[in-house]
Structure 1
């Protein structure tokens, strides 16, 4: 039974619609990007349309999903740090997240998860459907997947809306299954849209970046870095940030204060509406020692905030398994005093040599970030 209140609650939706103009990713603009000393960024592949999630298989094959509904295999046959071959290896409507387990390729769409063997040349064998009934996507259809240290398949299932009471229990959750799709269960709730998540290399703890609620103002809701643990509720849609109440949505059977008491607060907050996408711990040896076990986060960039925010990559430092500091890693994609942009960053993966690949789903480019070359 809903709690009674002795005062009137009034909530106001507010914010801007402000979309920086897309401009071409020219050599001159790329050269003006800001990176720490010793780092270099350059085009690895282009003319990809709208590339989204990018991953490297245990065999070293590079795969990227595209909004058009396919998976492209990228090859650098002469090892010059640039892709010279692009081959579509899977066609599947609304393909998005990719993962690998025991030499198998895994792919998630809105409602389904598939797996298939990886051929020696990097092409993909026949897809086997192992999950068929994930809830519909609504506002957040872009599912992502990864295998944890426990060899379980983790599936991020976003909310259908900005803020609402969901009708399907699995929306706004992290779902876990066995590698064959069986024994499916909800691991954590109250996650509006956690596209980027990864496990700390030393502790095995799962962390993820959650998208905040829109229309609470230019400065709210801030994007959240959460420590995602079994059975926890992270508050959406009723509680956000450090225990703030979303007064436009009231819990059905308890007060906001009671819901806040049972919600888990974030570890760290980032500028509202920056749109965090990939979140990856760096485990390679190419970068300086201070990058080892730090996390890197792509921010696709805001559309409903003025001034614009995001359009960059950030580094999150960890000590003793805990996030302690964040700082810019690559900036400058937002140009002309914040009125133009030449990249909306999404996917992020680590290459066998320790360099990084990053996708831009607006100008159709994959960038390579290296150090000391």
Structure 2
């Protein structure tokens, strides 16, 4: 039996064991989630649907009262969206790149990810899409910025355009209405690539600071905490002085960032650790306090200790409890604030793109959801906006939600779909 066959057999055995143990019937969702007791897995569950994509007129299923159409097609793994003041829509096209596998599980994981179109050659570009007639479909496409290193987050502040590449934040001069940026840019902050590679960006309301999400290198500090230096954190960059510092830490993989306008607080969605069960611990949506520590890798959902990790009692005592659970391994990535009235029947709240699980016996996520807010806090159960990304038998994915943004008309949502290679637009029916 070759190495790949051995790895596949090991993974299959682990999946059978998980099914016998039984998956939780109730997702760990909301402000007071019921989180099952951890069950450490000797071999992590691998289950990811084969990427099929959309055919013909196929599309996601919108919630009642909504419609969906393709704003842009034929991208190459679109991940993140930035809408410029003039209505131009920028899309970061990037993909995780393979590193040399070290174990049988590494080989099995990479094979699974390639089948799901989650690993391969990255386009490393940002494309510009323009809907000049305002009909909700982009007519023109331009290569806005090329030859980047896994670009992800984007932010325009004044006449400077910032890009969150996997190895750092880069600044470029920008002219209003420009359809292309040339040059190498100016490196402001350097980050270590590898591991969780996305680097989301958001500017403060006054345009003086930039915030960046940097995920961990490993699952639970597997290579030691020195290798995790500067990671599993949200960074703050002072644009006047150039000084960068860690704003909040203990966040295993903070991806989407958004401002909540009532309190002015920064919020993020975080992908939690693997190998403890289908719903343990849940991914989460949380406000982010300056200097706050959120537990990784020592503990989760407050001060629940992960006994696989060498412990630090002082750090556990500091750990803050997140605000809102999003279900186990939903891979909640995209995040934006949606004001009331943007879509009919939806109040103020956060929109979240759930990319979908690859590491649980029953798949989760694979949809675009909405969490209502009142008084600056989550105020009720989540609602679906788009579903239908996954086949009923869980064998195929037609698409996978990632980044989300309010559309240029302020009456629609845009969502990146990195398996369907589409930017979907959601509006009133």
TM-score (norm 1): 0.89
1:163 paired residue number: 220
Distance of 1:133 and 1:53 partners within structure 2? 20
2:26 paired residue number: none
Q: Aligned pair in 2 of structure 1 residues 328, 60: CA closer, same or farther (>3 Å)?
A: same
Unaligned runs of 5+ in 2: 1-38, 95-122
Q: How many residues end up aligned between the 2 structures?
A: 355
2:317 paired residue number: 261
Q: CA deviation at 1:75?
A: 1.4
Distance of 1:267 and 1:346 partners within structure 2? 21
Q: Over aligned residue pairs, what C-alpha RMSD do you find?
A: 2.0
Would you say 1:52 and 2:79 are equivalent positions? Answer: yes
1:238-257 matches, within 5 Å, as 238-251=298-311, 254-255=312-313
Q: CA deviation at 1:201?
A: 1.6
Distance of 2:77 and 2:387 partners within structure 1? 21
Distance of 2:353 and 2:129 partners within structure 1? 21
Is 324-333 or 224-233 further displaced after alignment? 324-333
Q: CA deviation at 1:36?
A: 2.6
Distance of 1:23 and 1:180 partners within structure 2? 47
CA distances 1:16-45 after superposition (whole Å, capped 9, x unpaired): 211112223135542xx4333221011111
* 1:53 and 1:348 in contact (8 A); partners too: yes
* 2:340 and 2:346 in contact (8 A); partners too: no
Q: CA deviation at 1:53?
A: 0.7
1:369 paired residue number: 426
1:4 paired residue number: none
* 2:189 and 2:244 in contact (8 A); partners too: no
* 2:340 and 2:349 in contact (8 A); partners too: no
Q: CA deviation at 1:215?
A: 1.2
Q: CA deviation at 1:283?
A: 3.0
1:24-173 matches, within 5 Å, as 24-27=53-56, 29-30=58-59, 33-67=60-94, 68-91=123-146, 92-119=148-175, 120-134=177-191, 136-151=192-207, 152-164=209-221, 165-167=224-226, 168-173=228-233
Q: CA deviation at 1:127?
A: 4.8
Q: Aligned pair in 2 of structure 1 residues 180, 60: CA closer, same or farther (>3 Å)?
A: farther
Distance of 2:145 and 2:240 partners within structure 1? 20
CA distances 1:62-110 after superposition (whole Å, capped 9, x unpaired): 1111111011011123332112222112111221111111142111112
Unaligned runs of 5+ in 1: 1-9
* 1:117 and 1:126 in contact (8 A); partners too: no
